[in-house]
Amino acid sequence: MLRRVFQFAKTYFKDKKIVRPTIIPRPEHNISRAYISENAVKVLYRLKNSGYQAHLVGGGVRDLLLGREPKDFDIATDARPEQVKSVFRNCRLIGRRFRLAHVHFGREIIEVATFRGMQEISDSDERETENGMLLRDNVYGNIEEDALRRDFTINALYYNIEDFSVIDYAGGLSDLQAGVLRLLGDPDTRYREDPVRMIRAVRFAAKLGFRIDPVCETPLFELGELLQGVPAARLFDEVLKLFLGGTALDCFEKLRHYDLFGELFPETELSLAYEEHDFPVTFVAHGMRNTDIRVEQGKPVTPAFLFAVLLWEPVRRRADLLRSQGEAPLPAMQQAGDEVISRQVKRIAIPRRFSIAMREIWNLQHRFEHRTGKRPYRLLTHPRFRAAYDFLLLRADAGEVDQEIGTWWTRIQEVDEEERSRMLQSPEGGTKGRGRRRRRRKKPASSGEE
C-alpha cells in the first residue's frame, strides 16, 4: 500500500511541477516575527546559526496567514533529532511513531521535527506499517519530500527564517484563499495510512469554516471503521482537540454527518437514534453548544465534564432500566456508569482521574431531586457540586428535567441564610403561594442513597 503512496507522490510532484515551490517574499504576505512566539523565534534562529535549515511550518503558518492567533508553533528542520538535542540543553526527544524534539521553555513547548523523506519501504528499517497504516516512520529527507508527507495542502506551508519568505510546495496558499481543505495525495490511501486524518479533516473544516474537497470528502463516509485500529490513547487526545477548540457543536454535527461519531462513541450514537416523547434526544448537542460558549468566554471545560456529557445518554438509559427493575437510584447510576465506561475505554482511553470525576458528576444527579431537610446542605458542600450543578442545568436546558429544579438550585446559592431556610421547608422550592407541602416518605433501608 505505501509503495503506491510513494509512487503517487513522485508522480504528483512531477505532474504538478511543485518541485519548484512558489516563494512568497516578505513584502507580499502578512506574517511578522512580532506575531510568532518569542521562544519559537529563538529556536528558529538558534538552529539557523548552528548551520541548519529552520522553518515555521503547519498550523502556525496557516493561522498567521489567515490573521488568526496560532495555538502552537511547530518547526521543521534538516537537523536530526539528536542534533537538535545537542543544540538545546532544554530539549527532550519523544515519540516512537515519529521521533520529535521538544524544546522546553517553562510551560511552553516548541516542537521540532526533522524533514521526513519519501524512500521506499525496502530502503529503510525505520518505517513500519500494518495494513497500510504507518506505525513507525523515522525516514528523513529534504524539505520538498517533507512537504508532500504532510496531510493537507494548507498545512504544507513553510515560513523561512533565513529571508522571512513563505514557501508553498503544494498549492496550499491558493486553497487557503479559496477556503478548501484538500489532502495531499490519494485520499483513500492517505486516510488508510493514518485514519486520524479523517478526524483532522472534520476538525479543520469546523475550525476554519472551510469546505472539504469532494474527492477528499467521499471516503469519509466509507472508511470510518479504520478508526477502530487507532490506539485508544491517541484518540483521547484527538477528541479533546475536536471538542475543546471552540467549535464542538459543529464538529459533533459533522462527525455524525460522516458516520464517524459512532466509531468514537458507539453507545452514544445508538442512544441518539431513540426519540423520547416524540422528540429527538438533544442533550449532547446542548452540551457541545455550552462547551463552545464557555471556551469563547475563557471559562474552563475539563475533560471529565466533556466526557460526562458525551456518555450521559447511554449511562442514563441504562440507569433508568435498572431503576425500573427495582434498583435504587445511586446503585443504578453507579452500575450504569461502570458498565458504559468499561466499554468506552476500549475505543477511547479515558484516564482514571477523569473517569472518577465523571462518575461523581453522574452519581450526584439524583440528589438534586431532594430539596428539603439537610440533604441540600450536604450537596452544596460536596467537592464536585459545581460540576454536577452545571451538568444539571444542561439537563434542564435540554428538557430532560424540569427547568424549575435548576432555577431552585441556582436561587438557593444566591439567597441569604434566612431565605435559604424558608426554601428548604418547601419541596416546590419555597416560592410563596405555590404548591403544597409534600409528605416525606420513609426512606427504605435498602435505598442505597448517600
Active-site residue numbers?
72, 74, 151
Q: Can you tell me whether residue 155 is helix, strand or coil? A: helix
Contact status, residue 159 vs residue 35, Cβ threshold 8 Å: no
CA distance 354 to 420: 33
CA distance 75 to 57: 6
CA distance 344 to 271: 14
CA distances from 416 to 140, 370, 413 (A): 67, 20, 8
CB hemisphere CA count around 121 (13 angstroms) = 14
* Residues found in the chain: 450
How many Cβ atoms sit within 10 Å of the Cβ of residue 238?
A: 17
Cell of 163: 529571508
Cα distance from N-terminal residue to C-terminal residue, the chain: 57
Residue 110 φ then ψ, to 5°: -100, 120
CB hemisphere CA count around 13 (13 angstroms) = 17
Q: Can you tell me whether residue 384 is helix, strand or coil? A: coil
CA distances from 121 to 14, 20, 188 (A): 21, 26, 19
Residue 255's contacts (CB-CB under 8 Å, 6 or more residues apart) are: 199, 202, 242, 261, 264
